[in-house]
Amino acid sequence: MLSNVAKSIGQRNLFGKLKPLSSQQQNGFASEATFETRAFKLHNLEEGPSTKVTLTKEDALKYYGQMYTIRRMETAAGNLYKEKVIRGFCHLYSGQEACAVGMRAAMRPEDSCITAYRCHGWTYLMGVSPVGVLAELTGRSSGCARGKGGSMHMYGKNFYGGNGIVGAQVPLGVGIGFAAKYNGTQGACIALYGDGAANQGQLFEVYNMAKLWNAPCIFVCENNGYGMGTSAERASANTNYYTRGDFVPGIWVDGMDVLAVREATRFALEHTSSGKGPILMETATYRYSGHSMSDPGTSYRSRDEIAEVRQTRDPITSLREKILTTELATVEELKEIEGKIRAEVDSATKVAKTDKEISVDELTADIYANPENLTSVRNTVPHAELQHKRLGQAVNM
């Protein structure tokens, strides 16, 4: 029997597949198609995004490739962890790809993002190559933070991590949004957290501060149904996370549909960038793996539940069906994309296994933004400082 968690993100027999409303043909092939998404739920909003969405062939193939890449990277990361090439913590994003890809599709060059420790997919979308992601996971020098950050601490342009403390990235996100307003960049910050972090007191503090300042910040609760082994229903008296900002308006979106997430994010960006202040978005999604690699993910939910979501609501399979049904692309075109991505990720995996680690001399690099006058750095052993050598800043591969 399915839990309330699985039911909350929708089953095929309840909501059905998204059916195309129309498609435009060009030289015998569809150049774009229009779909009807699942309805949005609103809090303190008179109107929300349109449920009628248009998808071009170019965007369809782009979103499909991005989601497929994230899934392949996470599969590779899981295997590397099992081989003990990745050590420490590792939280996989498999199943939640439509959330990140949909939001990234709506972001503008001036916008920023900050998230928690389930950050590999976001790191890739924000400009880091699969090599930069996987090599960072294995602690190698070609990683996006030179192997110093690992799974939970990855960064890129306008991407502020990858943060390991539960919920602590959300106040930082409000600060990033406030800085954008203060500096007049016209950008907004997307601050992501999970349903498990949603009960942290600091979130409610910054809901209030962001609304007082009208900071251009989008709070995004990626509700995958479970915290660290505890279902949302057991952890929260109010599981309508999009309503929990009080005076902060909210919107609920089907987080397994990349097009619905894209439209909701466009709406949220327009709302906050027009001076109306922050907005809260809940994406109803699902994670296939455990909370982390140390969690088998089956002690608090059934294997049947996971299989049901995979079969009926998988974001990659759903987009693939839309593309083929509307003839935006052929099976051969999609297979070609998949083949190229598999080869790229396989190649990146080999680099992640074989690339060198940074030398001991580089341990003190990248601690300060301006370390010109720094000669030594405090060590873990008293009276045994490390000599500072500026060997280069962290790189984005």
Tokens coding 383: 């009276």
Q: What is the pLDDT of residues 367-380, one digit of tens each?
A: 777 777 777 888 88
Instruction: Assign 288 to helix, strand or coil.
Output: coil
From the options 1.10.10.10, 3.90.1580.10, 3.40.50.970, 3.30.70.20, give the CATH code of 36-358. Answer: 3.40.50.970
- What Cα–Cα distance (Å) separates residue 361 from each residue in 30, 153, 350, 358, 391? 57, 21, 25, 8, 8
pTM over 0.85: yes
The pLDDT of residue 331 is 97
The pLDDT of residue 10 is 52
> Domains of the chain: which residue ranges?
36-358, 359-396
Residue 124 predicted with pLDDT over 80:
yes
Q: How confident is the model at residue 12 (pLDDT cuts 50, 70, 90)?
A: very low
Kindly report the backbone phi and psi dihedral angles of residue 44, in degrees, each rounded to the nearest multiple of 5, phi listed first: 55, 35
The pLDDT of residue 216 is 98
Q: What is the pLDDT of residues 171-185, one digit of tens each?
A: 999 999 999 999 999
Residue 397 predicted with pLDDT over 50:
no
Residue 394 predicted with pLDDT over 50:
no
Query: Average pLDDT over the chain, rounded to whole?
Result: 91
Q: Which of 56-60, 102-106, 241-245, 385-389 shows the lowest per-residue confidence on average (mean pLDDT)?
A: 385-389
The pLDDT of residue 9 is 55
Tell me the mean pLDDT in the region 183-203.
97
Percent of the chain with pLDDT strictly greater than 70: 91
Residue 149 predicted with pLDDT over 70:
yes
Q: Where are the alpha helices (DSSP H) in 9-47?
A: 12-15
Per the model's pLDDT, the better-predicted residue between 396 and 23 turns out to be 23
Q: What is the pLDDT of residues 282-311, one digit of tens each?
A: 999 999 999 999 999 999 999 999 999 999
Per the model's pLDDT, the better-predicted residue between 22 and 51 turns out to be 51
C-alpha angle with apex 261: 255 to 263, nearest 5 degrees? 155
DSSP secondary structure string for all residues of 158-188: TB-----STTTHHHHHHHHHHHHHHHT----
Residue 349 predicted with pLDDT over 80:
yes
The pLDDT of residue 368 is 78
Q: How confident is the model at residue 114 (pLDDT cuts 50, 70, 90)?
A: very high
Residue 123 predicted with pLDDT over 80:
yes
Q: How confident is the model at residue 395 (pLDDT cuts 50, 70, 90)?
A: very low
Instruction: Assign 8 to helix, strand or coil.
Output: helix
